[in-house]
Amino acid sequence: MSEGLIVMLAILIFVIVTIAKGVRIVSQGEEWVVERLGKYHSTLKPGLRIIIPYLDRVAYRLVTKDLILDVQEQEVITRDNAVILTNALAFIKVTDPVKAVYGVTDYAEAIRNLIMTTLRSIIGEMDLDAALSSRDKIKARLRESIADEAIDWGLTVKSVEIQDINPSESMQRAMEMQAAAERERKAMVTRSEGAKQSAILEAEARLESAKRDANAQVMLAEASAEAIRRVASAVGDKPAPMYYLLGEKYVTSLQSLGESQNAKIVLLPGDLQEAVKGLFSGAGR
């Protein structure tokens, strides 16, 4: 092979390599950062692009589509010293490739750490109950807090979603014990209230019964008094009717005593005949 042919082949290879180095096809959804002699020169948009070989080089290839960053789970202490576990998802987009590559070493890791520290700060200002029930509020504050930093890094934070926010295992056990204690307290209060109402009702019942007994006794006494007045009015000054009534009551009592199932021995006065005779003789007079 002659020297001329070798030179022509070398020149041809050099031209092919030069063209290959100078012609770039940028895919849709990407932007390439070009440096010339180690300094930023230009940004290549999607399509067929030309650069100067050997002077220019593609230093960074950035995806301009929406990126999903998984923020790892971390422990966060609330204002009332409760420990909760939380993690998040961030949806970001590279809007300025130059700032994204030259403004921070690793923009994805920077955003991830910024979200973690900001999330700890936000939840640290809240009580446990508020933190567990204010997911939307935390998300809005988190996105607002990191928006300015993201712009400085050439990024747009489209959304930040809180995946999980739960008490730690130790906090869950403590909350379960607290809930059990609260249920027991409410049960004791309910039982005490029931006993109190029962005692009140029982006392009111005794009071009402005593009032009714007293009223009955008063009514009985009034009836007895009225009966005595009527008997006295009917008898007048004559003792015979009174003796007759007393004798009748006396005989009736003895008869009831004799008919009683519990009565085994009936005691009669020794002068029963004289007593009855006296009653009837008195009545005859």
Phi-psi group of 46: left, alpha or beta (phi > 0 → left; psi -120 to 50 → alpha; rest → beta): beta
Q: Are residues 184 and 253 in the same domain?
A: no
pLDDT the model gives residue 272:
52
Task: Report pLDDT digits (tens) over 240-283.
Answer: 666 666 666 666 766 676 666 665 565 555 555 555 555 555 44
Q: What's the whole-model pTM score?
A: 0.56
Q: In total, how many domains does the chain have? A: 4
Q: Are residues 155 and 223 in the same domain?
A: no
Residue 70's contacts (CB-CB under 8 Å, 6 or more residues apart) are: 87, 89
pLDDT the model gives residue 283:
45
Residue type, 27: S
Q: Is residue 193 part of a domain?
A: yes
Q: Are residues 81 and 92 in the same domain?
A: yes
Q: Is residue 122 part of a domain?
A: yes
pLDDT the model gives residue 33:
93
Contact indicator for 92, 157 with CB cutoff of 8 Å:
yes
pLDDT mean values, one per 10 residues, the chain (285 residues): 77 85 89 91 91 89 91 87 88 92 90 91 88 86 87 89 81 71 81 86 86 84 75 64 63 68 56 54 48
CA atoms lying within 13 Å on the CB side of residue 67: 20
Q: Are residues 99 and 160 in the same domain?
A: yes
Q: Are residues 77 and 151 in the same domain?
A: yes
